[in-house]
Amino acid sequence: MSGLLDIKNLEVGFGAVTAIKGISLSLYRGTRMGIVGESGSGKSTLGLATLGLLPDFARCSGEVLFDGTALHWDNDMAMAGVRGSRIGFVHQDPMGAFSPVHTIGTHLTRAYLSAHPGASKADATKAAVDRLDEVEITDAKSRLRHYPHEYSGGMRQRVMIAAALIGNPELLIADEPTTALDVTTQAAVLRVMNDVIEARGMGLILITHDLGVVAEICSEVAVMYHGELIQHVPVDQIHEKAHPYTEALLKARPRPGMRGERLPTIAELLPEGWSDV
Amino acid sequence: MTSLILSRLVSSFIALLGAALVAFVALRLAPGDAARLTLGAFATDEAVAALRSEMGLDQSILTQFYVYIRDFFTGDWGRSYALGEPVRSLLGQRFPATLELGLYAFCMAFVSALVLALWGAHRKGPISDGVPKALGVLALGVPQFWFGLVLLIVGFEMTGLFPGPAGRLPATVTPPAGPTGMYTVDALLHGDLKTFATALHHLFLPALALGLLPFGFLYRLLRANLEDVSGAPFALVARAHGQSRLRVMVATLLPNAIIPMLTASGLIFGQLLAGSVLVERVYNWPGAGMLVTQGVLQQDYAVVQVFILLSAVIYIVTNLIVDIVAASIDPRLAKGGA
């Protein structure tokens, strides 16, 4: 059986660097997968490669099938039909992800009209208000006229989720959606994201370096290290069959009761010679 | 927005007074006696003194300044002592010619810079991006009068496609009588398409010669800004929403990149009006440039003062419009006030 998203032997390089070294991965409908790894492990690149949004100088090989059909990254019009309306995307930077000279309403209605060509402006506005309600932005109708700089970071991140949902996609790729937010706001944004995904039965790829978030939201976890997929297991089994690197990652998390101690680092936790991969 | 416009109007008025003061003082400080220059070396001292008092030069400097400002706003622009004609009628004929030439040059520069920068940023090929980039560099380095001559040699002498340096209209065509003094506009207002086409034909080469430099400047500015904003996260996110590359370029990136180009446009347009004298010379264009250059050389105060103030007014009004347009594009500018 083929999944909602099948990544087959994907390889991505930038110049002399190979960011992703032949990854194969399947995500089934309704599955929520967390992709974890250190900075530079290639997890964000994986998300962008799927959407065909890597910079022009990136070299991609391999294949990504969405719902059984191969994605043609170099065909911008074909990809535009997939982005937004089949795969939604949430960017990690709520400050930079909105054009400062356009209202929130413009961002949302443009996203809606790209996914529903031929729909009326009124439909788009209605959808925008509904999605803002869904992510718990109060007084949505009048807030459409506001500019991004009039929103707080947490609100902007919720608006970004609303914009990603407005095309009614089957899969959401969220690239570190809460990294730029403070802890309380993080929790609120994650809860909203979790709720809307559950309500819609959408698939989720959550790219993060926060294992706690993965444990809360995801059903599966994929661990990446230096462009390779090291482990891919259901989230409740991560402790049982942990790969040495995954184990090291888990041990590197701060825990209550560790006050005053130094956090273990990955290098000292890994078995001898392991990082030479 | 209203507060922005109000504060801009106030600062515009102050800038105008400043320009008037500078024009006034600079001309008074220039060596030489205007009355003596007008009458020549053989005039009697009595005649010179009589002219000085007629020109108001024997009054205190403050009174002269007051009279100068008052007369400008009441429309009494004085008389050119070198040419013996009222400044109003002199500039009334000449200034629209310069304005029309400047407008066409500016529009050609702006539109082509806009289109080529968008095209190059969208399709980064050697032809779509490389050729305009090289052209942009060239445009900044080529002297206007030289380019004007080259255009004349190619467009008139070699191919005969365009009229020679014969001014705004051939002698056989009567200029349209009209409110603006700009022949293409007046011809259109009278529905005279034939004169419109002829006037346009005469405008093309000088406008091209004058517009090359602003084109290079505006093109490079917009192209660089488009490159900057195309790396912004919002460009990526807009595409992730399903908008095509081209649509993102025009609808999202352009409004973010165009504001410096608009600001520069305001400055450039003012410069085009004041600095078209070389091109006017090459094409025998009966504009204000020649008149004013003569005026400066002969210390013809009235002409020069009025021209400086007129340029200042246009400069300030253009920049006021630019500020308002920029603020309507970027809400943060409207908030910022001053």
Cα pseudo-dihedral B168, B174, B176, B177, rounded to 10:
120
The verdict on a CB contact (< 8 Å) between B240 and A53 is yes
A5-241 CATH = 3.40.50.300
pLDDT of residue A268: 65
Domain residue ranges of chain A, discontinuous segments joined by + = 5-241
Contacts of B331 in chain A (CB under 8 A): 101, 147, 149
Distance CA A173, CA B181 (A): 62
Span A159-205, pLDDT tens digits = 999 999 999 999 999 999 988 888 888 888 899 999 999 999 999 99
The verdict on a CB contact (< 8 Å) between B233 and A164 is no
Report the first-to-last Cα separation within chain B, whole angstroms: 11
Distance CA A122, CA B298 (A): 67
Q: Which helix (H) or strand (E) holds B285?
A: none
Among A77, A97, A149, the residue with its CB nearest the CB of B233 is A97
Query: Closest by alpha carbon to A200, among A140, A117, A130, A152?
Result: A130
The verdict on a CB contact (< 8 Å) between A83 and B236 is no
Searching chain B, which residue's CA lies closest to the CA of residue A47? Answer: B240
pLDDT of residue B116: 96
pLDDT of residue A270: 66
Name residues of chain B where pLDDT drops below 50: 337-338
**Total CB pairs under 8 A between chain A and B:** 84
Among A56, A84, A149, the residue with its CB nearest the CB of B241 is A84
pLDDT of residue B337: 44
Span A19-43, pLDDT tens digits = 999 999 999 988 999 999 888 888 9
pLDDT of residue A269: 64
Report whether pLDDT(A114) > 70. Answer: yes
Q: Is the dihedral of CA A265, A271, A273, A276 positive or negative?
A: negative
Q: Where are the extended beta strands (E) located within B35-184?
A: 79-80, 85-86
Span A61-85, pLDDT tens digits = 999 999 989 999 889 899 999 999 9
Query: Closest by alpha carbon to A62, among A22, A28, A122, A34?
Result: A22
Contacts of A163 in chain B (CB under 8 A): 237, 241
Which DSSP state fits A201?
T
Among B124, B242, B329, the residue with its CB nearest the CB of A114 is B242
Instruction: Give the mutation candidate from B237, B249, B328, B329 for the A interface (greatest A CB count, under 10 A).
Output: B237
Structural contact between residues B199 and B184, judged by C-beta atoms closer than 8 angstroms: yes
Structural contact between residues B182 and B107, judged by C-beta atoms closer than 8 angstroms: no
Average pLDDT in chain A: 89
Contacts of B330 in chain A (CB under 8 A): 100-101
Which residue in this structure is represented by tokens 């070396």?
B41
Where residue A240 falls among pLDDT bands split at 50, 70, 90? Answer: confident
Searching chain A, which residue's CA lies closest to the CA of residue B246? Answer: A76
Which residue in this structure is represented by tokens 């994929």?
A222
Where residue A271 falls among pLDDT bands split at 50, 70, 90? Answer: low
Distance CA A7, CA A26 (A): 6
Q: Where are the alpha helices (DSSP H) in A103-148?
A: 104-115, 121-134, 140-143
pLDDT of residue A277: 43
Domain residue ranges of chain B, discontinuous segments joined by + = 1-82+298-338, 89-286
Q: Which amino acid is at A62?
A: G
Q: Using CB atoms within 10 A of its CB, is residue B160 exposed (0-12), middle (13-18) or buried (19+)?
A: exposed
CA angle B200, B205, B208 (to 5 degrees): 105
Searching chain A, which residue's CA lies closest to the CA of residue B255? Answer: A101
CA angle A119, A123, A129 (to 5 degrees): 140
Among A51, A97, A149, the residue with its CB nearest the CB of B234 is A97
B89-286 CATH = 1.10.3720.10
Distance CA B48, CA A125 (A): 77
Query: Closest by alpha carbon to B91, among B83, B11, A132?
Result: B83
Q: Using CB atoms within 10 A of its CB, is residue A99 exposed (0-12), middle (13-18) or buried (19+)?
A: buried
* Integer CA distances (angstroms), B102 to B110, B122, B169, B276, B286, in order: 12, 30, 17, 8, 13
Report whether pLDDT(A1) > 60. Answer: no
Distance CA B321, CA B267 (A): 12
- Backbone region of residue A23 per phi and psi (left: phi > 0; alpha: psi in -120 to 50; beta: other values): beta
- What is the percent of chain A with per-residue pLDDT over 70, rounded to a whole number? 95
Distance CA B119, CA B129 (A): 7
Q: Which helix (H) or strand (E) holds A87?
A: strand A87-90
pLDDT of residue A275: 53
Among A56, A83, A101, the residue with its CB nearest the CB of B330 is A101
Span B129-139, pLDDT tens digits = 999 999 999 99
Distance CA B266, CA A25 (A): 56
pLDDT of residue B223: 96
Strand, coil or helix: what is A22? strand
Distance CA A211, CA A67 (A): 28
Strand A220-225 with B85-86, pairing: unpaired
Distance CA B168, CA B202 (A): 6
Query: Closest by alpha carbon to B291, among B314, B337, B300, B283?
Result: B300
Distance CA B170, CA B258 (A): 39
CA angle B200, B203, B207 (to 5 degrees): 130
Report whether pLDDT(A46) > 60. Answer: yes
* Integer CA distances (angstroms), A271 to A215, A245, A274, in order: 25, 9, 6
Query: Closest by alpha carbon to B210, among B143, B260, B111, B161?
Result: B143
